[in-house]
Structure 1
Amino acid sequence: MTQTDVSRRHFIKTAAAVAAVPAVLPRVLQAQDEPGPSAPAILNEDANRLRVACIGVGGRGRAAVDGVKNEKIVALCDVDDERAAESYEANPDAKRYRDFRTMLDEMGSEIDAVTISTPDHMHFAPALMAIRMGKHVLVEKPLTHTIWEARKLRLEAGKNGVVTQMGNQGHANEGTRLVREWIEAGAIGPVREVQFWTNRPIWPQGIDRPDHSRFIPVIPQTLDWDLWLGVAPRRPYDPAYVPFNWRGFWNFGTGALGDMACHIMDAAYWGLNLGAPTSVEAIATPVNEETAPTASIVTYQFPARGPMPPVTATWYDGDLQPPLPADVSPDQDFDRSGGAFIIGEKATIVSNSYAGTVRIAPESAMQEVLQTRIPKAHPRVKGGHFEEWIRACKGGEMCGSNFDYSGPFTETVLLGNLAVRTKRRLEWDSEKMEVTNFPDANRFVTKQYQSGWGV
């Protein structure tokens, strides 16, 4: 790292720390939703903006590009020019790359922070490289493709002192904080059961690898297929994988569980301090080596945490629905496409997929909580998770879904897929990162990597 880089980072952190003196701050450090006086022209505005590189800028990646648009986007990287076109056109001054390794090698000294919005199998390699170069990172959910990768990124981030955030945007929502505060205040009583559900997958699962015996699809000229495969084993291109349906294939995605549990399980996982489960088991429609099943039910067992009792958490996907808790009436209005029941001895919290809407059932319990006016014990996030990350990169408060939180959370989510793939009840030693009762399951804790990716 050059002296210029050190000075620039020091400036960003120092500027953020003196936010109590608005008269001398550049306008970009003022509250984002409050107008303020124009700042004196004593500082270069660019010096107070993060220099951001975005890896994966089509599809969901466009949200990341938009989320950092008020910073200085210096580089955009995508393996598909057609999918990236909108982001490229919106940021004509940003340098364009197909290979993130080339981008980071060539522009390392010009980048402060990196967003990563690639398919699941390609989260880890660019995140690891960026972290080891001292770059702050925001990585889409699920944080990684495997349990080992989640553990490794958490440790590497701590070692290198960078700001991290997983892209489960609901963690920044008001509802996530309300859920925790209601639980902590005893509003629903002790919780021993949680249920989650989703209508995912909305892409093909339970299928085999595409059949190329009759014809071989042509790779689009705008796509670099080898770079898209990245760390994964080589296989022929097929439109069955890109741009979206890769999620169902084990080599690239993590199925409905990996796609949505980092959203749907989040408020309960955080609010109940669930930590690592001791066991997990699953039942599912037929499972094969290529894709996740069309539907599954995954049950996690979490031990007691201090005064909090053990919790059984059950996940339903494939549009399966849990039975309604006694507190929830059949005609109650809630999101059937995805959500959570956090079932206490006194009442039940009903949440949608992102904790954007949360409510206590029965209604009498909700009214009692409203009248009690439970204190706001946890800080609120101004703006969304992108803004939270940007402020943290400039020396502000730590992100809520930093890797110390989202790493273990992702490990828990992905453990469910081990149970799905092995069709067994698995006993889990989190400290050793090991299934103890069926050793063959441990082959899914990590994976083999194509050479040349720094893994």
Structure 2
Amino acid sequence: MEHFENNSSRRKFLKSGLVAAATFTIVPRHVLGGKNFLAPSDKLYVAGVGIGGKGYSNLRNIYNSGNAVLSHLCDVDDRRAAKTREEHPKAKYYHDWRELFEKERKKFDAVCVSTPDHNHAVIALGAMQLKKHVFVEKPLTHDIYEARVLKQAAQKYKVITQMGNQGSSNDGLRKMQEWYEAGLLGDIHTVYCWTDRPVWPQGIPWSKSPAQVPKELNWDLWLGTAKNRDYVEKLVPFNWRGWWDFGTGALGDMGCHLLDAPCSVLNLQSPTHVEASVGTVYVDEFKRGYFPESCPPSSHVILTFKETPTNKTKLKLHWMDGGIKPERPEELDAGDNFGGGNGTLFIGTKGKMMCGTYNQNPRLLPVSRNLEVNVPETKKRVEGSTNGHYKQWVDACIAGYGKQEVSSPFETAASLTESLLIANLAIRAHDVQVVKDGKATYPGRNIKLIWDDANMRVTNFDEVNQFIKRDYRDGFKLSI
């Protein structure tokens, strides 16, 4: 099984502490009396890693669930951490999550990971090895390999896991599942998912002007698993999303929200083929910019899924970003905003349905059909309002492994994340150079990639397989 590797000063901890951690009981249980004992009034003690921005809102919702205590906080940027620290002054604060895990592992029960994408897996895995429950912001991982590792780790360590795609707990998803299972749509052959992202720069060159690292930021810890490089302006705290070393582009930002409905409703597992076209960037009137480190400004990806026992036709799932949208369904009125900047549209042999971001506002098409059908509720709804996704996870952690369901456990979140990362393989294939006889070509721009799920590789363009598992920097490695 995989484990996280820290620097040499921590190797003794890794060899003994992680193994021993499996025998530790959480503080409230230990105090209250024995293994597996849990009083109804017990609280979940949560350590937050990445506590600014989305980390702030994740921790706020966890705290507002009513049964959680934010006992420990960790961030590499004191500026981003300030608001959460001010609101929770009793929580002990760290900069390095590895130090937090080593020194405080007996004093918290669960970890919320809200860092940039490239550090999700190493932190989450380290927490699971300590038998800590984990909530990880979407996308679950940066690489396909990491998604497989976290899925296996969740099963091995038997902890409660949840990915931060909040729409998976919304009523809208369950209503669409009920419509589909009632046969209102027939077999689904086409799905469109679209987003107005990126709303950050993409398709640009890396800055050639290193900048002074702000005194409040630990740049080395922010880099984490990524290769060492100079700090540049306007990367932190938001624009890292457009760079492959750190982010996963528009797909990583919105894919787990918008692909959630088709993956859940149709029980999709893994695509068999994927192809993509991407937007062109010009550095001048005649020359195409070649910026392989940066995600493209727009893309259209087509994922092919084989038929399933419940959906007896092949499915083409279209992903569109950068302002690209599918043709407006003829059933919609001209004034309908067609999902706004983000949406999902299902097209079946008997009908259509669509929804917005987070699976909200589900509708059958034509809209008049919503008044004609009366499908009974067969799917259990998640209790709670805006923080239901978080409360569900907190309550499940307190109840114990196997006692309560969560909406996006790693067993399913990993498959969803893999699908969008496989889509990213087709995008990244466009910038893979193959040099032959001194001439650079880009064969990945004209290939439909064939995905071998069992062996986790593309079979017809080996050059793109380098992006399935990247190299990790010393001190932050996933290793066997």
Asked if TM exceeds 0.5, the reply is yes
Which residue of structure 1 lines up, in the alignment, with residue 92 of structure 2? 95
Which of residues 21, 26, 35 in structure 2 aligns to 1:5?
Answer: 26
Q: CA deviation at 1:330?
A: 3.1
For the residues of structure 2 that align with 1:356 and 1:398, how far apart are their CA atoms? 21
Q: 1:11 to 1:285 in 2, by over 3 A?
A: farther
- One-letter code of the match for 2:118? H
Which residue of structure 2 lines up, in the alignment, with residue 449 of structure 1? 472
Which residue of structure 1 lines up, in the alignment, with residue 439 of structure 2? none
For the residues of structure 1 that align with 2:426 and 2:61, how far apart are their CA atoms? 36
Give the secondary structure class of the aligned counterpart of 2:390: helix
Which residue of structure 2 lines up, in the alignment, with residue 223 of structure 1? 217
Q: CA deviation at 1:67?
A: 1.7
Which residue of structure 1 lines up, in the alignment, with residue 318 of structure 2? 314
Q: 1:444 to 1:344 in 2, by over 3 A?
A: same
For the residues of structure 2 that align with 1:379 and 1:11, how far apart are their CA atoms? 33
Give the secondary structure class of the aligned counterpart of 1:298: strand
Which residue of structure 1 lines up, in the alignment, with residue 410 of structure 2? 403
Q: CA deviation at 1:3?
A: 6.0
Deviations 1:264-317, CA, capped at 9 Å, x for gaps: 111111001111110000000246321100000000000000141211000110
For the residues of structure 2 that align with 1:338 and 1:5, how far apart are their CA atoms? 41
For the residues of structure 2 that align with 1:343 and 1:217, how far apart are their CA atoms? 50
For the residues of structure 1 that align with 2:84 and 2:154, how far apart are their CA atoms? 28
Which of residues 286, 290, 298 in structure 1 aligns to 2:293?
Answer: 290
1:241 aligns with 2:235: yes
Give the secondary structure class of the aligned counterpart of 2:358: coil
Gaps of at least 5 residues in structure 2 are 1-20, 281-289, 430-444
Which residue of structure 1 lines up, in the alignment, with residue 111 of structure 2? 114
Which residue of structure 2 lines up, in the alignment, with residue 19 of structure 1? none
For the residues of structure 2 that align with 1:352 and 1:4, how far apart are their CA atoms? 42
Contact 1:325 1:348 in 2 (8 A): no
For the residues of structure 2 that align with 1:5 and 1:243, how far apart are their CA atoms? 33
Contact 2:270 2:419 in 1 (8 A): yes
Give the secondary structure class of the aligned counterpart of 1:109: coil
For the residues of structure 1 that align with 2:25 and 2:425, how far apart are their CA atoms? 46
Which residue of structure 2 lines up, in the alignment, with residue 179 of structure 1? 176
Contact 1:163 1:398 in 2 (8 A): no
Which residue of structure 1 lines up, in the alignment, with residue 306 of structure 2? 303
Q: CA deviation at 1:376?
A: 1.5
1:358 aligns with 2:381: no
1:433 aligns with 2:471: no
- One-letter code of the match for 2:416? F
- One-letter code of the match for 1:299? I
- One-letter code of the match for 1:5? I
Deviations 1:132-185, CA, capped at 9 Å, x for gaps: 111000000000000000010000111111110000000000001111111111
Q: CA deviation at 1:344?
A: 1.7
Contact 1:137 1:162 in 2 (8 A): yes
1:162 aligns with 2:137: no
Contact 2:332 2:367 in 1 (8 A): no
For the residues of structure 2 that align with 1:416 and 1:367, how far apart are their CA atoms? 37
Which residue of structure 1 lines up, in the alignment, with residue 3 of structure 2? none
Q: CA deviation at 1:432?
A: 1.2
| Count of paired positions | 420
Which residue of structure 1 lines up, in the alignment, with residue 421 of structure 2? 414
- TM-score w.r.t. the length of structure 1 is 0.89
Give the secondary structure class of the aligned counterpart of 2:359: coil
Contact 1:327 1:347 in 2 (8 A): no
1:367 aligns with 2:371: yes
Deviations 1:116-142, CA, capped at 9 Å, x for gaps: 000000101110100111100000000
For the residues of structure 1 that align with 2:292 and 2:24, how far apart are their CA atoms? 50
Which residue of structure 2 lines up, in the alignment, with residue 382 of structure 1? 383
For the residues of structure 2 that align with 1:142 and 1:4, how far apart are their CA atoms? 30
Q: 1:201 to 1:144 in 2, by over 3 A?
A: same
Contact 1:392 1:399 in 2 (8 A): yes
- One-letter code of the match for 1:413? L
Contact 1:154 1:403 in 2 (8 A): yes
Which residue of structure 2 lines up, in the alignment, with residue 327 of structure 1? 331
Which of residues 337, 340, 343 in structure 1 aligns to 2:341?
Answer: 337
Contact 1:129 1:454 in 2 (8 A): no
Q: CA deviation at 1:243?
A: 0.8
Deviations 1:197-245, CA, capped at 9 Å, x for gaps: 1000000000011121xxx311111000000001100111112310100
For the residues of structure 2 that align with 1:84 and 1:292, how far apart are their CA atoms? 28
Moved more, 382-391 or 80-89: 382-391
Q: 1:229 to 1:375 in 2, by over 3 A?
A: same
Q: 1:177 to 1:307 in 2, by over 3 A?
A: closer
Q: CA deviation at 1:101?
A: 0.2
Q: 1:415 to 1:4 in 2, by over 3 A?
A: closer
Give the secondary structure class of the aligned counterpart of 1:110: coil
For the residues of structure 2 that align with 1:165 and 1:443, how far apart are their CA atoms? 28
For the residues of structure 2 that align with 1:205 and 1:334, how far apart are their CA atoms? 25
For the residues of structure 1 that align with 2:274 and 2:264, how far apart are their CA atoms? 19
For the residues of structure 1 that align with 2:25 and 2:333, how far apart are their CA atoms? 62
Q: 1:413 to 1:4 in 2, by over 3 A?
A: closer
Which residue of structure 2 lines up, in the alignment, with residue 35 of structure 1? none
- One-letter code of the match for 1:315? W
Q: CA deviation at 1:188?
A: 2.0
1:256 aligns with 2:260: no
For the residues of structure 2 that align with 1:7 and 1:82, how far apart are their CA atoms? 32
For the residues of structure 2 that align with 1:14 and 1:430, how far apart are their CA atoms? 41
Moved more, 286-295 or 82-91: 286-295
- One-letter code of the match for 1:194? V
Contact 2:259 2:416 in 1 (8 A): no
Which residue of structure 1 lines up, in the alignment, with residue 53 of structure 2? 59
Which residue of structure 2 lines up, in the alignment, with residue 34 of structure 1? none
Gaps of at least 5 residues in structure 1 are 17-24, 27-47
